[in-house]
Each structure stands twice: as C-alpha cells, then as structure tokens.
Structure 1
Amino acid sequence: MSWARIMAPLAGAPGDRGLLASAAVLAEGFGAELACVHTPADMADLMPWMGEGFMGGVQVTALESLKEAAVEGRDAIDRLVGEFGYPRSRTIGLDSPVWAGLAMEGRLSDVVVFDNAAARGKGPLAEAFQQIVADEQRPVVVARPGLKVGGTVLVAWDGGKEASRAMRTALPLLEKAGRVVVTGAPAASSRSFDLDRLVDFLAARGVAAEARVLTGTGDAAGQLLGAAREVGADILVAGAFGHPRLQEFIFGGTTRSLLNGEGPSLFLSH
C-alpha cells in the first residue's frame, strides 16, 4: 500500500512556498505525483450581491480584478513549481465553480496537504480546508516545520470509528515510519479499548509499534500534544471530530485544540 497522488491546494500567494515545500517532502517520500491545484477566489461568490440582469461598474470592476488575480496567481504557481523542480509535479487550474473542481481533485488524491493558517481558519485557503475535511471527508496533512517521512509517528487511539479511519488511512505513512507509538487515555474515555490490540493489528500489517498509555482523565488534546513532545513525534495521526457543516463547520473541542496548539504536523481524517 502506498500513496500515489498527493494534492496541495495553492492560492497563488506568498504562503504557497512553505506549503509546497512540505507537500514536496511528502510526495518525494512516496515517489508520488504532486498535484499543485490553483484554488483562486471564485467569481460565482460575487453573484448573490450583483443582482439579476444587471452589472454595474463596481461589479464589473470586481469581476475583472478577480480574473486578473486568478491569472497572476496561476502564473506565480507555475513559476514556484518550476523552482522546486520536483519531477512528478503537475499544476492544475480550477475554474468556476471552484468548489466543484476542488472536490473532484480531492476525490482523486490520496491525501491533501494544508498549512497551519488554513487549518486555523485564516488566509485564502481556510474555506478549502473546511470543504476538504468536512464536506469531502478526505484525509489531510496539516504541515508544520519538521515534517518528514520516515521519522516518528504518534497515533491517537480510543477505539472509535474516527480514530480507526485515521489510523487505517495513514497506514502507508506508518509503514515508512522509523518509529510508531500508539497512545490513548482509557481513563478519560467513555469507550473501553486496549492499546495492545492496536499494536497487534499493526504488527499483522508489517508495522512494529509500541503502546504508551496516558493516565490523565481530562484535556485529551493537551495529553496528546504532551506525548508527542515526549516521544519526539514528527507527525500525529488522529481522527477529526466535528459537526456536519450547515452554514459553518464547527470542530469538536479536541480537534480544535490540536489545530490551534503547538505540536507536530497532523494527519487528520474525519
């Protein structure tokens, strides 16, 4: 099992450089295609306030500005991808409706990479992050400094379906890890689970893992981030909890704390 296609949504902004660098590290670790997807502001988002059958000077100017920004952004991404020189890179531009194209590219990718800003609801890709995690339920990597393939991976486990989905989806990452630690706090969970069962599950799939029981009873995110620091984790694998989006996506408390906390890169699956 491996990852063959890794997707990086890019806005055509200065922040793309760090994100692309992280995505290239991940893609190179798997010899995967790196899909660099230009995700511009969508002109369709202007339509609700333009009115039907009428376009005034302000509206026309706004549309032209968005078109120019989209062209400039795509050109900037082409130059940036060329600078990095990863041989299996591919640049893809999205047209309106951008959300539909983004969804399709996500469905055709094994994992999608975002940076801290988007994951924390900031910057031009914040909405894209919510769409990919909540609406599309695609696995994502929130890339932070120090991201690498082959280091130490900490797997958060509580026996639930979210944790199970994240762990199983992350198997290619675990197979390449130099060290895998599975951790959980039985005393803080309403579920009954045994970390050794997960160790056995992974061993049957060729992944040698060790168990680390957390003894606390509260602040699951704080305990997980503490454990990540103690074992020197490069990546933390966790299930993403949240409510289905109506007008706004709302993360559960633990997921929100992991996103806003200081720690290793995150692998999340909702």
Structure 2
Amino acid sequence: MSVATVMVYVDPAQQAEEQVRVARSVAAKFEASVIGVSASAIEPDFVAEGVIIQETTTEDIKRMKTELAEKERWFRDVVGLPAGRVAWRWNLEYPLDYLANEARAADLVVLKSSYRKVDPYRLIDPAEAVLRMGRPTVLVPEHVHELQADRIVIGWKDTREARLAVHDALPFLKRASRVSIVEICTSNEQDAARRRVRDVAAHLGRHRVKAETDVRVHMAESDAHQLVRVAKDQGADLIVTGAYGHSRLGEWVFGGMTRGLLDEAPFCLMMSH
C-alpha cells in the first residue's frame, strides 16, 4: 500500500482544526493529495396530529448549500498545500453515507475520534465510519494537530482485522524509527503470543521494518489502558490496531478494546476493519 490521497471529514460548522492539520501532516509526509469532504442532510418532514410539518424550508436549504460551499475556503487555508493537491467535495446527504461512498477515492481517511453530541444530519459517528468505509482510518483526539508517526505501537491480536491494519500501516511503519508489536494475553498464553508477535516482526522485517516484540499479561486495568500506557512509555504518537465491532439494533458499535482506545488514547489511532 502507498498513500497518495488522504481524505478528511469536515463538520460544516467546524472551527477546530485538529483533524485537518493531521491530514495535512500525513499528506506532507507522503507528498499526497488531500480531499476534504463535508455534508449536511435535510431533515425529513414529520406528521403531527395528521398535519405534515415541514422542518426544512427552501431558505434553509439555500443556507446549507452556501455554508458547505463556503467551508472550502476555510479548509484550503488550513491545509495550506498547493491548489493542485487539494480538492473539496460536499453534498446535501447524510454525512456518513456520503463519506462512506466518497472513500473510494482515498487511500486513507482522517476523522475526529469523537463528537460530543450525536447529530446524524451533520456529524460523523467514527465507530460506524471505520466499520463501513473499507479504508484505513486515522482517528484524531482533541488538541492533536500533527502526526509524526516516528514511534509506533502495534496493538496485536491474531485476527483478520489486525493483519489488515499492519498491512495498511506499512507506509508509516517503514518510516518510523521505532516500532513495537504488543500483544496482551492471559498468563497461560504467553508462549503462543511470543510466537505470534515474532512472526509479525519477521514479516515486517522482510518489508525493511525493524520491530521489537512485547508480550504483556492482562492486568486489573483494561487492555486499552495498558496499551496506551505502553505507548506513552515509549514516546509513541500512533497506535495501529484492528477495529472490532458489530451491529446492534441497526447501529454499528465498537467492541470494548477499540472503544477503550478511542476514549483513552491522547494520540492518534490508525484502525482497519
């Protein structure tokens, strides 16, 4: 895999620049192009006491289109790359549906790791996005404006998702000065875990990535907290891991480890599903 195009979602009313600046830093690292994506959905009419209530007026739609089009200037100013390497796409559509479709044009997608409120008409649920897009995703917490990815921790689990995540992260791993493969297991699994992470390290070595291995035993703290602590101790600014989730009552949700990393990690996560 190579990174030639980075896509980033922008909330139409967004003022914070974190994930856009991270997208710019990734694009600069790989001399890639950046595509900004934004969308707002028109809220449907509803019926009250037999009367159809129109929530969105013609003026509202005009304002929404203007807001989305004008956000391009803000986006291009923040990205600060030559015009030929920056594109802007917008539509009146549910943001998650629009982003999931447009992701076909990207090698990597950058998102905020969380939103304080649920608004499917304007915002992206990062859990559902990662599980739907079919693209590796960098999730950016608040107050992070750059991704150096010089020291990387791989949160290993012997699953399809983790294998895909390591493959997708190869462009970053090849440029890192330190890569650590960490598996957290039960005490009676340590020998098998050591064999697994040694296999991953050997595989990466054939791609000219020198990686350390580290097997840890489950502790009283959550696995997510333990992995974040390891990454902090190593001075890492990126954790690479598979994204694990399932559908519940029509909604995609992350599993415990994945959700824990999103809630606790003070640096970027790169996830694949």
> Do they superpose with TM above 0.5?
yes
Give how far 1:18 is off.
Answer: 2.1
Give how far 1:125 is off.
Answer: 2.4
Q: How has the CA–CA distance of structure 1 residues 156 and 94 changed in structure 2, closer, same or farther, with 3 Å as cutoff?
A: same
Partner Cα distance (1:267, 1:248) in 2: 22
- 1:135–1:245 contact (8 Å) kept in structure 2: no
Aligned counterpart for 1:211 among listed residues 208, 213, 219: 213
Partner Cα distance (2:154, 2:188) in 1: 16
Amino acid at match of 1:116: S
Q: Scaled by the length of structure 1, what TM-score is found?
A: 0.85
Give how far 1:12 is off.
Answer: 2.1
- 1:158–1:186 contact (8 Å) kept in structure 2: no
- 1:221–1:255 contact (8 Å) kept in structure 2: yes
1:65 pairs with 2:63: no
1:161 pairs with 2:160: yes
Aligned to 2:114: 117
Aligned to 2:201: 199
Q: How has the CA–CA distance of structure 1 residues 214 and 122 changed in structure 2, closer, same or farther, with 3 Å as cutoff?
A: farther
Partner SS state of residue 6, structure 2:
strand
Q: Scaled by the length of structure 2, what TM-score is found?
A: 0.84
Aligned counterpart for 1:224 among listed residues 204, 222, 227: 227
What does residue range 74-85 of structure 1 map to in structure 2 within 5 Å?
Answer: 74-85=69-80
- Which ranges of structure 2 fall in alignment gaps of 5 or more residues? none
Q: Deviations over 1:208-263 (max 9, x none)?
A: 11112213355211211111111111100011111036422221111111111133
Partner SS state of residue 114, structure 2:
helix
What does residue range 94-105 of structure 1 map to in structure 2 within 5 Å?
Answer: 94-96=91-93, 99-105=96-102
What does residue range 30-45 of structure 1 map to in structure 2 within 5 Å?
Answer: 30-39=30-39, 41-43=40-42, 45=43
Q: Deviations over 1:55-85 (max 9, x none)?
A: 65x4353x53244133223302323313542
Aligned to 1:269: 272
Aligned to 1:132: 129
Aligned to 2:175: 176
Q: Deviations over 1:136-182 (max 9, x none)?
A: 33321012426423410100112111211111111111112121111
Give how far 1:117 is off.
Answer: 2.7
Give how far 1:98 is off.
Answer: 5.1
Aligned to 2:21: 21
- 1:151–1:233 contact (8 Å) kept in structure 2: yes
Aligned to 2:259: 256
Q: How has the CA–CA distance of structure 1 residues 259 and 97 changed in structure 2, closer, same or farther, with 3 Å as cutoff?
A: closer
- 2:183–2:197 contact (8 Å) kept in structure 1: yes
Write 1 or 2 for the structure with the bigger share of helix: 1
Partner SS state of residue 59, structure 1:
coil
Partner SS state of residue 14, structure 2:
coil
Moved more, 98-107 or 173-182: 98-107
1:92 pairs with 2:89: yes
- 2:17–2:78 contact (8 Å) kept in structure 1: no
Counting aligned pairs with the same residue, the percent is 27
The Cα RMSD (Å) is: 2.6
* Aligned residue pair count: 261
- 1:157–1:195 contact (8 Å) kept in structure 2: yes
Give how far 1:108 is off.
Answer: 2.1
